[in-house]
Structures are given as C-alpha cells and as structure tokens.
Amino acid sequence: MDNKLHNLRHSLAHLLAAAVLDIYPGTKNTIGPAIDNGFYYDFDFQSADLRGLNADERRQISNNDLPKIEKKMREILKTWKEFEGREVTEKEAKEIYKDNPYKLELIDEIVSRRSAAAKAMADEEKLTLYKSGEFTDLCRGGHIENINELKKAGWKLSHIAGAYWRGDEKNKMLTRIYGLAFKTPKELEEYEKMIEEAKKRDHRKLGLELDLFTFSELVGPGLPLWTPKGTILRDVLDNFVWELRKEYGYERVDIPHLTKKELYIRSGHWEKFQDDLFKVTTREGHEYALKPMNCPHHTQIYARRQWSYRDLPQRYASTTKVYRDEQSGELAGLSRVLAITQDDAHVFCRSSQAKEEMVKIWDIIERFYGAVGFALSYRLSLHDPKQMEKYLGTAETWAKSEQELRDLVKEKGKTAIEAIGEATFYGPKIDFMAKDSLGRQWQVATIQLDMNMPERFDLTCVNEKSEKERIVMIHAAIMGSIERYLSIIIEHFGGAFPLWLSPVQVAVLSISEERHSDYAKEIYEKLKEGDIRAELWNENESISKKIRNFRLQKIPYAVVIGDKEVESKNLTIESRAGTKENLSTKQFIEKLKREIGNKK
C-alpha cells in the first residue's frame, strides 16, 4: 500500500478509537494499525463506564453497535482540524497512561528499544503522542496532512472479532473492531463488489463442491485431507515446478520431519521461532521438534563432506511438509494450516555465484507464473535496524545481503517496494506478488539470500588457494505453501481450471446406457491411453442431467456419445464455454495434447 493510503487508514484508526472512548468512557484502547484493506483497533471494554447506557447497550459490544460507532466517528470528524505530534519523556507518557496497562507495556518496550539503539549507536525511537480534536494517542506517526482527505475518502466499519493482546493466547482477549478504507467512495464500492464475488469463489466452498479436499474433526483443524482429484491438482503443479528446476541443475533430496532440538538451537529457530514449534519429548527424555522449516536439514546434507569450489553450486530441492503451531483462531481453510507442504529449494554457492543463481530462480518463477496467468510485482522484505534483537547476524551482513537483492531487482529491470521489518530472522528476501482475477494481491514466491545460516553451521568450500571459504545460501520457494497457493488459484479460476491443470480433463457421457455405453467406454479407454485425465459417465441418467453435472464440476470438455456418434465414429465435443465441434478421436486427442503442452 502507498504511504498516503497507509496514513489515511491509520488516521481512521485514531478516529475509531476517539469514537469508542466517547461512547464507552473508561475503555482501554491498545493499538490500531493500518492493514491491507483498511484498519482496526483493539479495545478492552471490561473497565468501560456503561452507567449512561440502557440495558441493551450495556451488553457485550457486537456488530449491531457498529452503525452507532460509525455515526459518532463522522460527528467527531467534523471537529477535527489536523494531527499534532509532540515528543514526550517516559515519565510524561506513563503519567498520561497510568490507568492503561497496555499503553504502559508499549512505553516500556519503546524505552527498551531506545536503550538498545543507544548502545548500538543507531537512531533512537522517540516517544511521541499525536492529537486531533480531543483525542490523543501514543503513536509513532504516519497520518494524513489534511483532514479533508478523511472526509473525501470511502470508509466504513465492517465487523468485530476477538483478538488476544499482542497475538498471544496467554494474554487477555480483546475486542477488535475492523474498518474498510479507500481513497474514494467509488474504490470502497468496487472493493465490496469484489468481496461479494470472492464469496462465490471461496476455496473452502469450491473445494468441497469439486471434491478436492476435506477436513475431519477427528484429524483436527488446519490439517486438510486431499482427495484423488485434489492430489492430481497438487501433483501437476509440483511436477511443473520440478521440471523447471531440473533444467537448472537441481537435485531432489529427502529429509525427516522430526529433528533434535540441537539443530534448531544452532540454526536460531529454537530461540527466534520458539512459540511456533511442535515439540516432542521421547520416552528417554530427549527433546525433538517437528520441522517448521527445511533449511537447517538441507545445511546438514551439504555439510556431509568438504566441497571444492569446483563442485559449487549445490542445488537441493524437496517437496515436503513443515509444521507450525498456529493459534486455532488463525486457521482458515487452506490459507492458514498447521501442516504446510513446501516446494522448497536451497542453493549453496560462493558469494560470486549468488547473483547468477538468483537470476536463474527468478527465471523459474517468471516461467511458472506466466503459465498460470499471474502478473507479478515485487517487494523487498528488509530487516528493521531499530530492532536488531529480532535477527541473526550483524548489521554489516544484513546491509550486504540487502544490497545484493536491490542490485538483482535493478539488473532485472524491475522496481520493488521496500518493506522494513518484513524479513525473516535469518535473511532478507524478494517477495513475488501475484494479482488474481479479482484484483487481489498475494505474496507467492520468494528468493532469500542468507549469509547467517552458513556462518552458524560453518559451511565452507575449499577455494583456488586451498583455503576454506565461507559460502552463502539461497532459499527459494516457487509456490511457497502449496496449500495456500492452491487456495489462491482455486479462487482465481473460480474452480474452472485450464485444461492442463484440471483434475478431470474430459467427461465421456453416454446418452443411453443400453445403446451407447460400449462405444463410450471405448472412447474413454483411448483417452486414457493418450494420457488424458478422463471420466466415464455411463450411468442410467438423462443426458440433460449429465450435461448439468459436467458444467457444475467445471470440467473443460465433454464428449457426448449417441446414435450419431456410434454410427459415424466421430465425436460430438462440448467445451466448458459452450462451444461445440465434431472431431475424430485421433483429432480430439491431438487437440488436447496441444492445449496441454501449451499450458492452455
């Protein structure tokens, strides 16, 4: 999101807090950031003064209260003129928020980061308050310059949800109020229309209707089970990624799903990823974990021997599961799961080879997404120098890695948005963003340059001078989470996949079971021999019902077999789009193979 839109949305979060505190005095306001489609603010209503409200208003706040809050926001907006910021001392800030434990916690964190920054001689974070009208909030800034921007914008409150303070389920559950916000009312209207269309394309709904995946209460939330059709879809995509990687010299490797905790202590995951690990204790008392990432395991495949510089790069690829202990409230269909399938690869190479290897990965990504039909944009996910405690390695190492990625983007003739604080704890990355058919943007593939993991695992090669030389490591995912990627393409295509992706490419429909089933079966067998994914529908049902089911299942082609087809030995073919043609079996199979080969 651009800065102006971010500032608009963040300003509206302030306005929301002002309205809530006006209606419910004593409410504890916590944090209110801008998000992709608007804003939210988290509140603790437990201490709110409800004495002036009637019995209905004193109940737990709900979506029914949003019109009242939104009305108050618009009333307050008429009195606002500008946002005024001022720096305050720790003592002043704590006096102002002495009755708000959430703000006091935030103040302590800011002060702690300031101390760390001072020791590192980095820029210090300031304690600042921003005021508009009668409302003041602890805030680092980023607001609109002219209040009229809020008056001209398109915005509304959308819904209420529960949210743990700081996202930690050990903390108190707060009330989160969400709002939508765009620069103009027309943009808001277009967004709401898109959301309505997205509901029709919801992958959870289509996944069940098209028999792609299911969930079981006995298996557990966040653990999808893939049907034969869904497995075909996954395999077609994964095989395509592998065919592309094979061209560039990648080799398949396989790794266990379980590891001793010592591997993750060395990699830094035990410290930095502690809350997301599924931990296991053996009967002998040894601590293990289900892997949340594959990179530490791949380092140990590289570390099995001493490599000469002549042997590099080493390129390893695995399609394998990783496991992350997400909060149950964050799980959503295929978008957020506990068991994540990754098409993961790691390149171990010399520093001088890194750019060439990253260019190759970029080419794989462009070829893959070009075939699927996604336009790509780019984001550089960088570390936050004010919070170095979140990352492995030194500031110098991070600066070098980030500059290499900037140079790569420039060399490819592209521009990238820079996102401070979005890097993982071990290295910066280029995130590839895909825009779907509804205009939504998704983070998909990644290229990540890592100088920290080779340092922690002492990964080297022997160079031309017979000396050990530190190598670098490149992390690359094309689809990333295959589950999440499939949720995107199911909604992108609305379940109507192109021929090469469709789990069922052709349905063979007999008009009469008695007269036409033998020839229908013959055609079905020929399609299967030609490596076409076909289904035979010889049931004793009306042809109109079979055609209706063919359309509901969004299969690309149907072959209708009746008296005419049995006599002429030609096929009547109906496409998903409704076009019809007559071809011989050989011509039809050749047509299908051309379309599949061209990724149509």
Annotated binding site for Zn(2+): 295, 346, 475
Confirm whether 429 is a catalytic residue. yes
Confirm whether 458 is a catalytic residue. no
Kindly report the backbone phi and psi dihedral angles of residue 93, in degrees, each rounded to the nearest multiple of 5, phi listed first.
Answer: -60, -40
324, 379, 533, 546: the catalytic one is 324
Contact 475, 419 (CB under 8 A): no
Confirm whether 346 is a catalytic residue. yes
| CA nearest neighbour of 28 among 12, 39, 42 | 42
Burial 338-351 (b: 16+ CB within 10 A, else e): bbbbbbbbbbbbbe
Token pair 């420039």 in the structure block, residue: 410
DSSP letter string, 527-549 = HHHTT--EEEE-SSS-HHHHHHH
Rounded to whole angstroms, the Cα distance separating 31 from 14 reads 9
Strand partners, 322: 340
9, 10, 269, 346: the catalytic one is 346
DSSP letter string, 175-187 = EEEEEEEESSHHH
Confirm whether 342 is a catalytic residue. yes
Contact 315, 347 (CB under 8 A): yes
9, 386, 429, 546: the catalytic one is 429
Rounded to whole angstroms, the Cα distance separating 583 from 585 reads 6
Confirm whether 591 is a catalytic residue. no
44, 65, 344, 436: the catalytic one is 344
Give the pair of three-digit tokens for residue 284.
């002998």
Contact 521, 565 (CB under 8 A): no
Contact 508, 571 (CB under 8 A): no
Contact 225, 215 (CB under 8 A): yes
Contact 331, 338 (CB under 8 A): yes
Give the pair of three-digit tokens for residue 439.
């205009």
Kindly report the backbone phi and psi dihedral angles of residue 41, in degrees, each rounded to the nearest multiple of 5, phi listed first.
Answer: -145, 140
Confirm whether 390 is a catalytic residue. no
139, 295, 349, 461: the catalytic one is 295
Confirm whether 291 is a catalytic residue. no
Rounded to whole angstroms, the Cα distance separating 100 from 30 reads 8
Give catalytic residue positions.
Answer: 295, 324, 342, 344, 346, 429, 475
